[in-house]
Amino acid sequence: MSKLVTKITDRDKDFASWYTDIVREADLATYGSSKGMMIIKPYGYAIWENIQSVLDKEFKRFGHENVMMPLLIPESLLNIEKEHIEGFAPEVAWVTHGGHEKLEERMCIRPTSEVLFCDLYKNIIHSYRDLPKLYNQWCNVMRWEKTTRPFLRSREFLWQEGHTMHATKEDAMEETLRMLHVYEDFQRNYLALPVIVGKKTDKEKFAGAECTYTLEAMMYNGVALQNGTSHYFGNHFAKCFNITFLDQNNELQTPYQTSWGLSTRMIGGIIMTHGDNHGLVLPPKIAPIKVSIIPIGEGKELSSVIEKITKELEDIPYEIDSSDKTPGYKFAYSEVRGIPIRIEIGKRDLEKGEVTLVRRDTLEKENVRIEDAVKRTKELFKIIQDDMYNRALKRRDEMIYDVKTYEELVDYGKNKPGFMKINICDNPDCETKIKEDTSMKSRCIIEDESVNGPCIVCGNKATYRIYVGKQY
């Protein structure tokens, strides 16, 4: 085995170390001198750029425009909506000085931008003709996390946040659900993540929102990763900020607001769902490099075949590893970075008029005629994409349990990874007790299952079915 691969801890022995090893060995990110803040390296950033490119086109297809909002929020502005700031207070970082002078009012580094958008909207929304306002920004935010891990939780991270205003409640709710399903389609069809989509309980909803919808991905080890949220605010924020408009009857109305966002956390989700003991495994649709061509030896004939293949690849991103490393090292280097297809071309292959294709997801090899190499590579992209999704779906479904009693829930929380389906009432104390006894939290409400029986915690009539699970 290559020295490159032996640096990766066995996934089933120490999942946390395995994850960190892949982030390092795949050259995705590292830490610098700024404590708790990651440096996203070129290969990791290229994955984010692909994510951003796909989603940005989708947002614009629905009429959203990109803007840039300030990095700093005055404390007085943040305090206008008390519930909102209380929800973020433990994570807020404050700027108190400009140069050597103490600021008259301290400023927080944005943990999210609801109040900034409201401050803008109150000045630019006057009439029903100004609505809807469909704005989005790609930016960095800061939340002062105590425990950090690259891509999953860091004090500074990249994300996008959409903030929209609408004339009616119906329009705002339609936007909330539309963007939720944009996220869902993207994560399933591009990232091969079989996310569970649903509404958060009132206890777990976003501070200041009327309701929050979430995308919950299950990692290989059965732990949940909240991979995006979409919030319906009603007109709560708009009233706090005195945002009004004249309707078609020239009567003063208050608009309705949404907010939705996802982040570089999705890269962590890709790693922990699809990665293996050889390294990263990237879905072809999101991989920055889709094909790694590895010549074994040299010569005119070899160069000619490589030229033919690369010409046929056209706009498919590829690399040619012509370094002086051994073939085994080159293979391992391609694998650790998760490149979907490896094309090996050696003297014996050429004698047969063939090349060897290697799938990264299964490491299966097949020999194909040189003239069929690119056609087969393109076919494999779709097969790999679908297979990765289906394997993740199968594993997820195998770790979902229907739990009937509280004793069983506590036992599962200690001994079984995965999501538990339970009955629960609407008393938040029952969710609190589950967290205290099992370290599991509510993931989302199960909308498509009827509620029969009592709350698993208190025995009173259950209000709904939910998924619970441990989370990152």
Cα(192)–Cα(275) distance, rounded to whole angstroms? Answer: 12
- Mean pLDDT score, 447-463: 95
- Residue spans in the chain of domains classed CATH 3.30.110.30: 400-469
Note the pLDDT of residue 83: 73
Q: Which two tokens stand for residue 166?
A: 């609408």
**What percentage of the chain has pLDDT greater than the value 90?**
93
What does the pLDDT look like over 112-133, one tens digit per residue? 999 999 999 999 999 999 999 9
- Per-residue pLDDT tens digits for 391-424: 999 999 999 999 999 999 999 999 999 999 999 9
**Fold (CATH) for 291-384:** Rossmann fold (3.40.50)
Which pLDDT score, from 0 to 100, does residue 6 have? 61
Instruction: List, in order, residues 6 or more apart from 236 with CB less than 8 Å away.
Output: 81, 208, 210, 257
pLDDT at position 1 = 40
Confidence at residue 315, expressed as pLDDT on a 0 to 100 scale: 93
Residue 354 in 3-state DSSP?
strand
pLDDT in tens, 212-267: 999 999 999 999 999 999 999 999 999 999 999 999 999 999 999 999 999 999 99
E strand spans, 244-377: 245-246, 252-253, 256-263, 291-295, 318-320, 341-345, 354-359, 365-369
Fold of 3-274: BirA Bifunctional Protein; domain 2 (3.30.930)
- pLDDT of 10: 96
How far apart are alpha carbons 441 and 415 in whole angstroms? 16
Beta bridge partners, 161, equal 137, 261
For domain 400-469, the CATH class is alpha beta
CA distances from 105 to 80, 101, 102, 116 (A): 15, 11, 8, 16
Q: Where in the chain is the domain with CATH 3.40.50.800?
A: 291-384
Within its chain, how far is the Cα of 26 from the centroid? 18
Mean pLDDT for the chain?
Answer: 95
Q: What is the predicted pLDDT for the residue at 128?
A: 98
- Alpha carbons within 13 angstroms on the beta-carbon side of residue 199 total 14
Decide: helix, strand or coil at residue 195.
coil
User: What is the DSSP secondary structure assignment for residue 79, as one 8-state letter?
Assistant: T
The whole-number pLDDT of residue 81 equals 78
For residues 77-97, average pLDDT: 86
Closest CA to 239 of 208, 211, 262: 208
The strand order across the sheet containing 354-359 reads: 318-320, 291-295, 341-345, 354-359, 365-369
Where do you find CATH 3.30.930.10 in the chain? 3-274
- Say how far apart CA 40 and CA 424 lie, in whole Å: 41
pLDDT at 2 over 60: no
Q: Between the CA atoms of 421, 427, 431 and 432, what dihedral angle is there, to the nearest 10 degrees?
A: -170
Q: How many CB atoms lie within 10 A of CB 234?
A: 18
For the segment 425-436, what is each residue's pLDDT rounded down to a tens digit? 999 999 999 999
Backbone angles phi, psi at 252, to 5 degrees: -75, 130
The yes-or-no verdict on residue 296 having pLDDT over 60 is yes
List the beta strands (DSSP E) in 306-450: 318-320, 341-345, 354-359, 365-369, 400-402, 419-424, 441-445
Q: Quote the pLDDT of residue 241.
A: 96
Amino acid 297: pLDDT: 87
**Residue 7: what pLDDT?**
87
Please indicate whether residue 199 or residue 79 has the higher confidence score (pLDDT).
199
Query: And the tokens for 168?
Result: 């009616």
Chain segment 331-363, per-residue pLDDT in tens = 999 999 999 999 999 988 899 999 999 999 999
Residue 74 is predicted with a pLDDT of: 96
| Lowest mean pLDDT segment, chosen from 72-86, 142-156, 181-195, 216-230 | 72-86
